[in-house]
Amino acid sequence: MSKYQKTCLIRGDGGRAIRGILDRIADKWTLLVVATLDGESLRFTELQQRIPGISQRMLTRTVRHLERDGLVERTVFAEVPPRVEYALTPMGQTLIEPAVTLAEWAVDHNADIEASQASYDSENS
């Protein structure tokens, strides 16, 4: 029996939990937001400036989802104008290591994957 089967099928709920979590963290922006908040507390505009290509709307949706999931905390400071900062929760910090591992894998294998895609496309067009 594979490690996946032991974790997801026997110990878990037939894969339902992992599908739900992967649906959340494997979207286009979540891991970038989590990685950007690693060790920092940032204001919304600072966070947006550090993630090239993310729109205000997508950043808002992403941090709200992460806050709902307990991975990001939002702190509002009673100032004029109000200041809001985002930071990883202790649970959110546990996502850093697997996120970095996945990012390193993506960088290490990107050229191979692109070459494979090009070969496949040329054979199947």
Beta-strand runs (E) in the chain? 42-43, 72-77, 83-88
Going from the C-alpha of 84 to that of each of 22, 44, 66, 92, the distances in angstroms are 28, 7, 15, 18
Is residue 15 assigned to a domain?
A: no
Q: At 1, is the pLDDT very low, low, confident or very high (cuts 50, 70, 90)?
A: confident
Is residue 7 assigned to a domain? no
Domain presence at residue 38: yes
Check which CATH number belongs to the domain holding 100 and give it.
Answer: 1.10.10.10
What's the mean per-residue pLDDT of the chain? 90
Grade residue 10 by pLDDT with cuts at 50, 70 and 90. low
pLDDT, tens digit, 9 for 90 and up, residues 23-32 = 888 888 999 9
Q: In total, how many domains does the chain have?
A: 1
Q: Domain range spanning residue 111?
A: 29-123
83/23 Cα distance (integer angstroms): 31
Does residue 89 sit within a domain?
yes
